[in-house]
A and B are shown apart, each in its own frame.
Chain A
């Protein structure tokens, strides 16, 4: 596709349910990023992948959050036992690989709006 796509665009779930959010990066982009945007916390960086590997998972808010990337392409962010405070817009971005500190722009998807009732 032409840009980063995310699905679903909106997700309403009940407290305690598990949800999966999907991100399709731009073809050829080996770096992939997840962010969360909420009224209370603003924009927070969650995790990034270089290929299929996530060097640092410390940005994930709790152990209910996990992310994976397979085949160096699609990534899934999973939230288990959702809580109301998980309600937010989850943004995904991708970029070409960084090497030697050479900058490559992050391109953002339209986000998934998650509402936990």
Chain B
């Protein structure tokens, strides 16, 4: 069955770089894209970016200067890197498959930006 699972550090220092991994199973990254979405505690959802099945990427312009999404198809993994983190980047970070809309989601990983 389709599964996505996020992993990465729970705590990041201000101004540092966040690195997250989304490991997928049950589908191929060359057939489906993967999105990254974040949700600050108690708030709404923000689309961050997508890596499409052909490897091209699309970023939210609000984050584009700080954000990079890449993948390793052999390992079924998608990577998110975002630099210059600030406290307002504290959020649950989720990956979701780009099928019919965002049809499968990971459980999310909580990232706190704090010294």
Are A and B genuine complex partners?
A: no
Chain B residues within CB distance 8 Å of chain A: none
